Amino acid sequence: MGTALVYHEDMTAARLLWDDPECEIECPERLTTALERLQQHGLEQRCLRLVAREASEAELGLVHSPEYVALLRGTQALGTRELQALSKQYDAVYLHPSTFHCARLAAGAALQLVDAVLMGAVRNGLALVRPPGHHSQRATANGFCVFNNVAIAAKHAQQKHGLHRILIVDWDIHHGQGIQYIFEDDPSVLYFSWHRYEHGHFWPCLRESDADAVGRGRGLGFTVNLPWNQVGMGNADYVAAFLHVLLPLAFEFDPELVLVSAGFDSAIGDPEGQMLATPECFAHLTQLLQVLAGGRVCAVLEGGYHLESLSQSVCMMVRALLGDPALPLSGPMEPHGSALESLQCVRAAQAPHWVSLQQQGAAPVLSSGTRCPEGRPSPLPPGEPEFKAAAAALSSLLDQLRLHPTPPVRVAVALTAPVTGLALPPGVLCEEGSLPQEEMQAWARPHEALAQDEALIALGKVLYLLDRILDGQVSSGTAATPVPAAAATLDVAVRYGLSHGAQRLLCVAVGKLDRPPDLTDDGRNLWLNIGGKEATAPSMFHVSVPLPVTTGGFLSCVLALVLPLAYSFQPDLVLVALGPGHGLRDPQAALLAALLRGLAGGRVFTLVDEESTPQLATVLARVLNGEAPPSLGPFSMAAPEDTQALMYLRGRLEPRWKMLQVAGEAAGPGSG
Ligand code: Q9C
Ligand code: ZN
């Protein structure tokens, strides 16, 4: 199941015919440069190329009024002066004789992508289009947008494919007010948008872009606005927004399809957004969305006006859609104070509508909206320094790509006993190699549990595979060990990893697995035990948490504890061990592995014991290979004791691991 790339070169025809500094950034080179970059990186060639079709007038009518469509049809015959006069009637819009054709292709591309995904031709895809769509409304063009491509695609998915729950994630840096208006009373579409807001001073300067706009009527709680009140938001802020706001709601909503209003003006270097997120961040955001809806993610380009930043971000997103591991995120993983205030506001505004937020204790915020006494915060000094920062970050990304080439093998599996009927996905390597006998015995010697032949053979395979991951031949792996040897094998694997090149090793041990006794809190390892015995000497590097029993409890454990710890720690190797009595159901284990794949450049090694089902080994190999994890089943509330345990731990660990934070400093004037 592949990735579609939908495009038509006619969409480069529309361009600005007069002088207008506001509109000149929306130019044809946005598409040609992005496409060129996809070709240079060999990514376009790996996609299923689809030539965009025009949306029919009936399809445009799913969202737009007949009069508005007729008006635009008429613009094809207008001269430049008339086009300019008509454009002036809208806010930040320019028209060209080819605009109607281009805009129909843009909407048609989104429709074609949704059809390809929902008919099972591909698993996901990207439509590279212009004009963009998310500002456009029933009877008006706005903000470079003519037809609302994503909204039309969502209506089409409802009506032609009978979908009941669609998630729209709008990571463009502007508020897609058009999408919000179209679905604000519709509980079958969950619309999430983050946007530069600056307390209402940033375009389109709408009161209804704030966090307290949560939808209307039956749609209450299905509009989620996350306003950024300062510029300069970066990787940590964006990932925190996903972990602490979007994903809890998305899992509770359980979408059948994810549409992304993929604007890249939220990336570093963009003149509109003035944010700092680097291109690889969009691979992470994409991966985080791919665990939803069986991986059915349809992305449609919106904004993005810094050609280099836009193109690299598009490449990163397509790599993630293709299932390649994401590059590690650069920069300190600590959200800004202002970002935390925003997260807190949205969580408080949404808490009445979402069980998963009520449980995590989203504290109500007093007197929201009165918190910007100084009025408009000063924007970053324009020009020089910031553009230098952008240029440096963008070129260092290219260096990173050279340093971390995609390993030739994405997943390798080592199994001890020949397991019959194991259906490994295509491309997954079944590794037969082992460490030399003497070396293996030296590592095994301290452990009685590794004296048995069977255990020793398994250990040899585990260490061999670990070696191949550490030397970059293989991206990730999974292996099985005999039950009595599970703890000892993990102990050796941790020490082996640390002495063979891992600088920061994250170990997520589920079930009865003790922390290797000689591990110290030297900052090079972080040990997280789920569902084992309580740690006798807990520390910032030794965390233990009970295994939650419900899906809701499991999800908050992963989203609110495991991933924030992992993203804060920034490991370069992740070991996930499912030990005796781990108690995870296969879909839970798969979700954990799929989400941890975002860490360490995808260097994730999973260890299961042989008592686990063969299906578990298969499903782990599949998700490590980039497939979506199976559904967790119906959402059920976390048990109070699980929530309590989590809240306590987060309080204890927050001072060191900043991605755990979900609330700003006590809201005082000018805070953040
Ligand atoms: N004078 C998209 O990114 N700028 N549209 C208005 C106020 C308009 C952005 C500035 C920006 C439109 C799809
Ligand atoms: Zn935008």
Nearest to 597 by CA among 478, 461, 471: 478
How many angstroms separate the CA atoms of 171 and 169, rounded?
6
Residue 378 backbone phi and psi in degrees, to 5: -70, 135
Q: According to the model, what pLDDT value does residue 333 have?
A: 97
Residue whose token pair is 């209804």: 208
Residue of 140, 172, 203 to test ligand 1 pocket, by largest number of atoms within 8 Å of CB: 203
| pLDDT at res. 400 | 67
Pocket of ligand 1 (CB under 6 A): 22, 92, 132, 135, 143-145, 172, 174, 203, 263, 265, 272, 302-303
Count CA within 13 A, CB hemisphere, residue 602: 29
User: Quick one: pLDDT band at residue 404, thresholds 50, 70, 90?
Assistant: low
Which atom, in ligand 1's list, is nearest to the CA of 133?
A: 13
Residue 360's nearest CA partner among 35, 640, 68, 5 is: 640
Q: What share of the chain is helix, strand, coil (3-state, %, to 5)?
A: 45, 15, 40
- Supply the pLDDT for residue 367: 40
Q: What is the pLDDT of residue 368?
A: 40
Please, which residues have CB less than 5 A from ligand 2, an ion? 172, 174, 263, 265, 303
pLDDT attached to residue 426: 79
Please provide the average confidence, as pLDDT, over all residues in the chain.
Answer: 92
- Region 259-279: mean pLDDT is 98
Higher pLDDT pick, 363 / 438:
438
227 pairs with which residues across the strands?
Answer: 195
pLDDT value, residue 330: 87
Domain 28-367+379-401 grouped into CATH 3.40.800.20: yes
Q: From atom 5 of ligand 1, which residue's Cα is the shortest distance away?
A: 143
pLDDT for the residue numbered 406: 76
Higher pLDDT, residue 397 or 528: 528
Distance of CA 178 from the midpoint of ligand 2 (Å): 12
Whether the Cβ atoms of residue 575 and residue 507 lie closer than 8 Å to each other: yes
Q: What amino acid is encoded at 362 in this protein? A: A
CA distance 134 to 107: 11
Residues 141, 270, 11: CA angle, nearest 5 degrees? 45
Whether 50 has a pLDDT exceeding 60, the answer reads yes
Gap between the Cα atoms of 306 and 267, Å rounded: 9
Residues 6+ apart with CB under 8 A from 17: 80, 83, 84, 94, 96
Q: 93-148 pLDDT, tens per residue?
A: 999 999 999 999 999 999 999 999 999 999 999 999 999 999 999 999 999 999 99
Contact indicator for 302, 263 with CB cutoff of 8 Å: yes
Per-residue pLDDT, averaged over 357-385, amounts to: 48
Provide the pLDDT for residue 595: 98
Q: What percent of the chain has pLDDT over 70?
A: 92
CA separation for the pair 98, 617 (Å, rounded): 53
pTM above 0.85, yes or no: yes
Strand partners of residue 4: 48, 125
CATH topology of domain 409-660: Arginase; Chain A (3.40.800)
pLDDT digits (tens, 9 = 90+) for 578-624: 998 899 999 999 999 999 999 999 999 999 988 787 789 889 999 99
Catalytic positions: 135
Ligand 2 centre distance from Cα of residue 300 (Å): 12
Query: pLDDT tier at 331 (50, 70, 90 boundaries)?
Result: confident
Distances (CA, A) of 114 to 305, 445, 491: 25, 57, 47
Instruction: Categorize the per-residue pLDDT at 393 as very low, low, confident or very high, splitting at 50, 70 and 90.
Output: confident
> pLDDT tens digits for 80-96?
999 999 999 999 999 99
What pLDDT score was predicted for residue 565? 98
Ligand nearest to the CA of 145: 1
DSSP-assigned letters across all residues of 468-491: HHHTTSEEEEEEEE-GGGHHHHHH
User: Which ligand is located closest to the Cα atom of residue 144?
Assistant: 1
pLDDT at 422: 66
What pLDDT was estimated at residue 113?
98
Distance CA 59, CA 534 (A): 58
Ligand 1 atom at minimal distance to the Cα of residue 142: 12
Separation of CA 412 and ligand 1 centre (Å): 47
- Measured at the CA of 473, the angle between CA 471 and CA 475, to 5 degrees, comes to 100
What residue ranges of the chain are covered by domains with CATH 3.40.800.20? 28-367+379-401, 409-660
Q: Which ligand is nearest to the CA of 193?
A: 2
State residue 205's pLDDT score.
98
438-471 pLDDT, tens per residue?
999 999 999 999 999 999 999 999 999 999 999 9
Please state the atom number of ligand 1 nearest to the C-alpha of residue 304. 3
